[in-house]
């Protein structure tokens, strides 16, 4: 069984105040992102990738930008990001936890 227990896993620091933990199968990846560097005055720079992405907000609030559209997301909200579409977030609270799922796997995260 492929299990990732938060109490037994070491987060990977992306940059100060941001970490990730992940679990994956051969075709699907789930990543828990923890943010402790908010609120942010400006959104993160936009990025793209060839993966389908679905994001679930566990805690905190973010402004989620996809292309020219933006939505304020709170705990329990979800958003789907098509491949190759520019997207970004802006932290609206001091902390946030987002769960992202990707297919295919993000090889750049492995």
Give the tens place of pLDDT for each residue, 18-27.
Answer: 999 999 999 9
Q: Is 72 part of any domain?
A: yes
Question: Rounded to an integer, what distance in angstroms lies between the CA atom of residue 87 and that of residue 13?
Answer: 21
**Domain total for the chain?**
1
What does the pLDDT average to over 40-62?
A: 98
CATH for 63:
2.60.120.10
| Nearest one of 82, 76, 72 to 98, comparing CA atoms | 76
pLDDT at 101 over 90: yes
Q: Is residue 8 part of a domain?
A: no
Q: What is the mean pLDDT of the chain?
A: 96
Instruction: Please report the pLDDT score of residue 103 as a whole number.
Output: 97
pLDDT in tens, 72-96: 999 999 999 999 999 999 999 999 9
Please indicate, yes or no, if residue 18 is contained in any of the structural domains: no
Q: What is the model's pTM?
A: 0.94
The share of the chain scoring above pLDDT 90, in percent, equals: 93
Range of the domain at 83: 34-43+50-109
């Amino acid at each position: 069984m492929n299990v990732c227990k938060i109490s037994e896993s070491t987060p990977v620091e992306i940059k100060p105040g941001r970490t990730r933990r992940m679990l994956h199968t051969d075709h699907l990846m789930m990543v828990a992102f923890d943010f402790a560097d908010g609120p942010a005055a400006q959104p993160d720079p936009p990025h793209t990738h060839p993966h389908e992405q679905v994001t679930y907000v566990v805690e905190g609030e973010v402004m989620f930008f996809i292309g020219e559209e933006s939505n304020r997301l709170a705990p329990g909200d979800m958003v789907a990001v098509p491949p190759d579409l520019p997207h970004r977030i802006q932290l609206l609270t001091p902390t946030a936890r987002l769960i992202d799922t990707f297919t295919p796997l993000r090889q750049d995260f492995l």
